Amino acid sequence: MKKNILFLESRFDSFFGAQKSMLKLIKSLDHKDFNYNVVTTGEGQLKKGLEANGVSVDIVKLGNKANVFGGKVLRYSFIDKLIVFFQIILYNLKLVYYIFRNKIDIVYVNDSRALLYAVLATKLLRKKLVWYIRADVSDTIFTNIGLRSSNYIITIANGVLRNLPISKIKKFEHKITNIYTGFDFEHYKIIDKNEAKEKLDISTEKLVIGYLGSINQRKGLDLLIDALIELYETHEWIELLIVGNVSTGHIDYWNALVDKLESSSVSYKYLPYSDNISELYSAMDMFVLPSRSEGLPRVLIEAMGHKVPVIATDVGGTKEIIEDESLGIIFDKSNKNFLIEAIEKLLSNREYLHILSENGYRFVSKKFSENKFVDNINSFFKNF
């Protein structure tokens, strides 16, 4: 008999790394054994992105006060926070009806917010709750609710738990399974670098430092921009390529970054996210991920899969992708000076750039194969 899985995603207006990893998971399920439903809290990019890939999405609406991002709830008055609390309780009750009507067996939540939206419903109906931890977690009340209330936990990388006490990890290790996301490297099309730059209207004389991903404070794009403003004084032949969409609730953050770039002399190009990632990565001479928090950053794996040398902060599962300096450079998060040194190291050594591009490609194509992911995820759900 088939099992029915409900995938609940709280970020209704995002379709980036976490949401694309969820899409990968859904597409990897053996549909002889599983049916699925996808639910989110409102109309937005998630519904558009999933439906463009043949995955239908249902909307179970969350109250407007609760359905916000960017830390807005923390700035609410006490009364508004109380309203948020009751809206989340009401959402759980809506899910009770949805789960019952659709005969759901397993509820999968893609982040800690979604877990709060579903924890009461799953307990009332005695359904299995799977929490997929995709980014660094700290020893907070919300993390502890997730550890205690979930029946099973998938980690996207071992490193996402490293900020928890070892004693706590041991206490809940019977629930925890690590499953790396898989990638279809054979479908990547690496384009000649000069050709790719010309298609994006970037001079072939420029050395392109790239960033691809959502734009919000957690991703640390401000750190990269501050570093390049300093570097540009002596390296006028570099260009910053930013690719991505602004996360809900972070438009002020992005506007401040644009103002900073416009008031500096840094040469840069901004492009909204496009599915044509091969053309984008192929135009980059190096890729920088300056995040303050991550899970298993898929953009790093994508960049290495396109033979682009990488620099990234030491967060989440980054060290599970960049295991040593033959694969890339890791620096301490929020340390601008370390980032400047790392970029200068690559700028001054073209041979090292070439070594990283070849080594990185060979490493990720073996460790993060799609077949391995498909086998692991189906085995996980079949063993319930």
Q: Enter the tokens of residue 21.
A: 């990893």
- Same domain assignment for residues 302 and 165: no
Q: Enter the tokens of residue 376.
A: 């692991």
Q: Would you state the pLDDT for residue 38?
A: 98
Q: Which residues lie closer than 8 Å to 337 by C-beta, 6 or more apart?
A: none
Q: Phi and psi at residue 245, in whole multiples of 5°?
A: -110, 150
- Same domain assignment for residues 199 and 346: yes
- Same domain assignment for residues 207 and 156: no
Tell me the C-alpha distance between 128 and 107, whole Å. 6
pLDDT tens for 156-214 read 999 999 999 999 999 999 999 999 988 989 889 999 999 999 999 999 999 999 999 99
- Same domain assignment for residues 81 and 145: yes
Q: Would you state the pLDDT for residue 85?
A: 96
- Same domain assignment for residues 108 and 161: yes
Q: Enter the tokens of residue 124.
A: 């009332």
Q: Would you state the pLDDT for residue 71?
A: 84
Tell me the C-alpha distance between 92 and 75, whole Å. 24
> Which band of pLDDT confidence, cut at 50, 70 and 90, is reported for residue 34?
very high
Give the CB-side neighbour count of residue 245, counting CA atoms within 13 A: 14
Mean pLDDT of 270-283: 94
Would you say 330 and 159 are in contact if contact means Cβ atoms under 8 Å apart?
A: no
pLDDT tens for 57-93 read 999 999 999 999 888 998 999 999 999 999 999 999 9
What 3-state DSSP class applies to 174?
Answer: helix
- Same domain assignment for residues 11 and 139: yes
Domain count, the chain: 2
Q: Which residues lie closer than 8 Å to 374 by C-beta, 6 or more apart?
A: 28, 182
Q: Which residues lie closer than 8 Å to 211 by C-beta, 6 or more apart?
A: 221, 224, 240, 241, 242, 243, 244, 287, 288, 289, 290
- Same domain assignment for residues 202 and 347: yes
Q: Phi-psi category of 180—alpha, beta or left, where left has phi over 0 and alpha has psi -120 to 50?
A: beta
Tell me the C-alpha distance between 177 and 153, whole Å. 6
Give which of 254, 303, 297 is closest to 282, Cα–Cα.
303
What 3-state DSSP class applies to 369?
Answer: strand
| Segments forming the whole domain that contains residue 78 | 3-182+369-382
Q: Which H or E run contains 287?
A: strand 286-289
pLDDT tens for 108-162 read 998 889 999 999 999 999 999 999 998 889 999 989 999 999 999 999 999 999 9
Residue type, 248: T
- Same domain assignment for residues 176 and 199: no
Would you say 61 and 174 are in contact if contact means Cβ atoms under 8 Å apart?
A: no
Q: Would you state the pLDDT for residue 170?
A: 96
- Same domain assignment for residues 138 and 275: no
Q: Indicate if the pLDDT at residue 17 is higher than 90.
A: no
Residue-level length of the chain: 384
Q: Would you state the pLDDT for residue 95?
A: 97
DSSP letter string over 242-293?
A: EE--BPTT-HHHHHHHHHHHHHS---EEEE---S-HHHHHHT-SEEEE--SS
Give the CB-side neighbour count of residue 95, counting CA atoms within 13 A: 38
Q: Indicate if the pLDDT at residue 342 is higher than 90.
A: yes
Mean pLDDT of 9-29: 91
Residue type, 33: D
> Which band of pLDDT confidence, cut at 50, 70 and 90, is reported for residue 267?
very high
- Same domain assignment for residues 99 and 117: yes
CATH number of residue 174's parent domain: 3.40.50.2000
Tell me the whole-structure pTM to 2 decimals: 0.83
Tell me the C-alpha distance between 249 and 384, whole Å. 38
Would you say 287 and 310 are in contact if contact means Cβ atoms under 8 Å apart?
A: yes
Provide the 10 A C-beta neighbour count for residue 192: 9
Intra-chain end-to-end CA distance of the chain, in Å: 13
- Same domain assignment for residues 8 and 129: yes
- Same domain assignment for residues 354 and 375: no
